Amino acid sequence: MQKRTTGKDLVVISLLLLIALLIILSMVQRDREWQKLTALERSVSEQSRDMSAMRSAINSVQNNISKIDFNATAVAGNPASTTATENTAFPDAFKRARAATEKPDYAQGDWSVGAFGNNLKTITPLVSSDVYSSSVQAYIMESLLAQNPDTLGWSGLIAKSWQVSEDGLTITFQLKENVTFSDGEPLDASDVVFSFNFIMDERIQAPRQRAYYEKIESVTATTPHEVVFKYKEPYFEALSLAGGLWIMPEHFYKPYLDKPQEFNESKGLLLGSGAYQLKDPKGWTPDQGGVSLVRNSRYWGPVQPSYDRILWKVIENDSARLTTFRNGDIDAYSARPIEYKKLKSDQQIKEISNNFEFTSPIAGYSYLGWNQEKSGQPTFFADKRVRQAMTYLTDRKKIIDEIYLGYAEAAISPFSPRSKQHDTSLKPREYNLEKAKSLLKEAGFADTDGNGILENSEGEPFEFSLIYFKDSEDTKRMVLLLKDIYAKAGIKMKPSPQEWPVMLEKLDRKDFDVITLGWSSGVETDIFQMFHGSQTKTNGDNFIGYRSEKLDKLIDEARSTVDEEKRMPLWQEAERVMYDEQPYTFLTRRHSLFFIDKRIQNLEMTKLGLNRGNNIYPKEQYVPKVMQKYTH
């Protein structure tokens, strides 16, 4: 027999529910209080470290002042091996930034807002491999030395002085004593040692970096603020290699030695000593639609950065980026040549921006990479005659004239035509259909069935897929142009547009026929990473499987030759080998065509290009107070 619920029962049930609700609310409140208490403890701990660091810094300054001989000159010694100490003039690495602060309209505040053309897969150091992630890391990570953009010499950043042994095999750095990471922990020699050892640990996915740092025999901390690099053999970039090592905080990254796979698969583990930081050094993910950095309030440098925040939005479409720039939502726009002339006379663009047109002294190059080995088997492109033919078929003059409207030059090799590495007797191969057909016939290709497509001796048609980034309009136009040109020679090329992360995965797996991409360049370019046979390993940057014993020997010899007069002929001979063998078809070096918001002040050309585009930190630009539009 069912029993009905009475009014009395309802009252009792209601009271019980109310009691349960109060208990839950109490638990939530206690949890919130615990979270607040934990955050407060962390904040107090960080403030305590900051106060301790401040006291140490004050004591250090007082001690240094008492030691200064104001009648002394700068430290003596070989300028190539020793830099000035902290007791001399204002640190060279910060002089340009300080000069900006002395301008009458200088002000701190506002944001720097840029755009990336591709979504980032990861910004974790070492495991990331694209230029966008490097741009982010360069605001956060710092090295022992920085390159002077005016002299191209080296200036102390984390290092206050250094000495190079006479045989060039030992470099000793003295570190500044007031440097801290953005979480307040001090940076010392043990962090430098850890950074090197972390890279060289085979469990860490850093084959690109290991390819360079394997030249170093050991890195040792002799005191908390002195570190010694010993090389196995002479290396022409020994100072820049050691001085350019990004210093990773041991206390932050060391736990991942116990779980290397978690590090290798991570998306946003990024902490350093630089002028900016992630709000959460472990919390960035690709689905955030960009990257936002905030000012490092503990930054140790003598000049603080001007911007409150550095922000990058991901805008993959060219026209969408231009619209965003027109609306004032990003600060710079890298114009396509087809747009540039039109935009220079666009009244709205003229009102909001200044334009910059220049050929960067360190301009990179684009290329077609012919994969010579796929699934363990040689491809058509393993034959150098085929690669030579493809270069003769690739009409670079037409690409420059029709796609880039003259705002580019033909690339001959990885070496800039203005570099001492370049052999001036080498000229770009011009389009030559008959020469290409002759080489292909020599390599065994002919149209045996009359269908207009070449076949090899086994009857396999000459066809391949060309992978390219799907949202680059200029690249798309170039690929379609090449498709028509190659067809005239009986070659079927299938355009294969791809998302950026997919392209990177295919590179790592060597799962492609041909790919078009680009490499950045430097004042002197070390080509070991891209063309040495040892770098055909998994995740190595010789992803086309190119091997040449002759080139390997020249690369090894050039890298171990410290004397520039003896080294340059070796690079020139290496260039002649690449010119003959065409591991890539080197396409173009493009001119820089920029529009930059008029708010941005102190834009200057240097020997490394426009200072906005270089990794010179802290940044030298600023926005006058009356022109600022962003707040915290």
Residues 416 and 565 in one domain: yes
Domain boundary among 221, 240, 272: 272
Residues 228 and 369 in one domain: no
Mean model confidence pLDDT for the chain: 87
Q: If you search the block for the tokens 């709000």, which residue do you land on?
A: 279
Going by the DSSP 8-state scheme, the letter that residue 432 receives in this structure is -
Residues 245 and 389 in one domain: no
Q: Whole-angstrom Cα distance, residue 132 to residue 318? A: 16
Question: Mean pLDDT, to the nearest integer, of 133-141?
Answer: 93
Residue (of 401, 363, 380, 373) closest to 481 by Cα position? 401
pLDDT band at 151 (very low <50, low <70, confident <90, very high): confident
Contacts of 444 (CB under 8 A, 6+ apart): 456, 457
* Cα→Cα distances 620→176, 242, 610, Å: 22, 25, 11
Residues 248 and 372 in one domain: no
Residues 230 and 369 in one domain: no
- C-beta separation of 370 from 517 below 8 A: no
Question: Mean pLDDT, to the nearest integer, of 252-281?
Answer: 97
* Cα→Cα distances 443→381, 387, 457, Å: 10, 10, 9
Domain boundary among 272, 287, 302: 272
Tens-digit pLDDT profile for residues 215-231: 999 999 999 999 999 99
pLDDT band at 15 (very low <50, low <70, confident <90, very high): low
Is 82 domain-assigned? no
Question: Mean pLDDT, to the nearest integer, of 84-94?
Answer: 65
pTM of the predicted structure, to 2 decimals: 0.78
Tens-digit pLDDT profile for residues 550-572: 999 999 999 999 999 999 999 99
Q: Which helix (H) or strand (E) holds 580?
A: helix 564-581
- C-beta separation of 538 from 547 below 8 A: no
Residues 445 and 551 in one domain: yes
Half-sphere exposure for 559 (CA within 13 Å, toward CB)? 24
Is 209 domain-assigned? yes
Q: If you search the block for the tokens 């980032």, which residue do you land on?
A: 120
Number of domains in the chain: 2
Residues 370 and 266 in one domain: no
pLDDT at 44 over 60: no
What residue numbers bound the domain in which 221 lies?
121-272
Is 206 domain-assigned? yes
Is 177 domain-assigned? yes
Q: Between these two residues, 178 and 45, which has the higher pLDDT value?
A: 178
CATH number at residue 211: 3.90.76.10
Tens-digit pLDDT profile for residues 346-387: 999 999 999 999 887 778 899 999 999 998 899 999 999 999
Is 322 domain-assigned? no
The predicted structure's pLDDT at residue 631: 81
The predicted structure's pLDDT at residue 4: 41
Is 437 domain-assigned? yes
Range in 60-69, 168-177, 392-401 the model is least confident about: 60-69
Is 571 domain-assigned? yes
Is 344 domain-assigned? no
CATH number at residue 396: 3.10.105.10
Starting at the edge strand found earlier in the chain, the sheet holding 492-498 runs: 492-498, 463-469, 514-519, 365-370, 584-586
Peptide bond before 618: cis, by omega within 30 degrees of 0?
A: yes
Domain boundary among 272, 298, 333: 272
